[in-house]
Amino acid sequence: MLSDSRNTPALRGPVAFLTDFGDIDPFVGQMKGVIAGIAPTANVIDLCHKVPPQRIDIAAMFLDGSREYFPTGTIFVAVVDPGVGTARRSIILNVARQFFVGPDNGIFFPLIRHATWSAVQIENPHLQLSQVSSTFHGRDVFAPAAGHLACGVSLESFGRKINALSPLVVSKAKRDGHTIQGEVSHIDSFGNAWTNITKAMLIEIGALIKREEVSIRVENTLINGLGDSYQTGRMNAPVAIINSVNFLEIAWPDGSASKNLGLKQGTDVQVEIR
């Protein structure tokens, strides 16, 4: 199986990694070494390695908000895996002509909401490293799977088909008439506060056609109006915009909204039409 897959001429697409491994250890480098041994010409891309430790929900959001920017055939390897070494399944998911390799712990659940999909369990020991540790399936199971997939190995070769994925438990924003109640889901590297309120929900309450009548309340601050860009706001004042992955975001032009407003993950956010 191995030698066959190495001779396959056409690669399927790039391999994109998403993990919570950070960058102070050689973990991500070892996964790339494994890929290089199986699929030497694969194009390997780092999507992000600083998902907050074991935050499956953030990883799922990063993946769901990023995949549309990657080409057909991309093989995503997502390793945020608090259950490594336990009975949780290792899977490969095929949805919308892209592949997703990782633990079945909810991380891929948002991807299958509105799409047809198929998935298999990774069982075939010939498509894993010969020694599989109990602590690092990213290197020993998921990276080899991605390498073999990149070489054209079929999904059926990996293991039996599965018919349901484990669900993802997340806090969702709620709508009540013209009001949305949500929370801060993530503080990015600029100090911008991402919320769990989607563009779709804002459209439902008419916020995009009445931008000036929107009020956003967060901590003790009231922001009037939904902005177009980071530069919409006045100096020394926060601005609310729809960000590049289509969530409501609280920003501060040339500063940190998180620091200036005291926002952190979990802070309540309320949107209404006046």
Q: Given the rule CB under 8 A, which residues bind a second copy? A: 13-14, 16, 18, 21-30, 32-34, 36-37, 40-41, 43-50, 53-54, 62, 65-66, 69-71, 74, 82-86, 133-136, 139-140, 188-190, 228-232, 241, 243-244, 254
Of 3 and 189, CB closest to a second copy = 189
Residue 120, burial from CB neighbour count under 10 angstroms (0-12, 13-18, 19+): buried
Write down the least CB distance from residue 228 to a second copy, Å: 6
CA distance 48 to 62: 8
**Rounded CA gap, 265 and 274, in Å?**
26
Q: Which is nearer to a second copy, 68 or 176 (CB)?
A: 68
Residue (41 or 116) nearer to a second copy, CB: 41
Give least dist CB 180 to a second copy, A: 21
* Min separation Cβ 176 and a second copy, Å: 29
With respect to a second copy, which residue has the nearer C-beta, 156 or 188? 188
- Min. distance of Cβ 174 from a second copy in angstroms? 26
Contact 15, 75 (CB under 8 A): yes
Alpha helices in the chain (DSSP H): 2-7, 27-38, 56-66, 137, 143-150, 199-204, 257-261
36 phi, psi to nearest 5 deg: -65, -30
Within 10 angstroms of residue 162's Cβ, the number of other Cβ atoms is: 15
27 vs 117, beta carbon nearer a second copy: 27
Q: How far apart are CA 166 and CA 194, in angstroms?
A: 25
By C-beta, is 130 or 220 nearer to a second copy? Answer: 130
Rounded CA-CA distance 74/94 in Å is 10
CB of 220 to a second copy, least distance (A): 25
The number of helix segments (H) and strand segments (E) in the chain equals 7, 15
Closest approach, Cβ 89 to a second copy, in A, equals 15
Calpha distance 233→229 (Å, rounded): 8
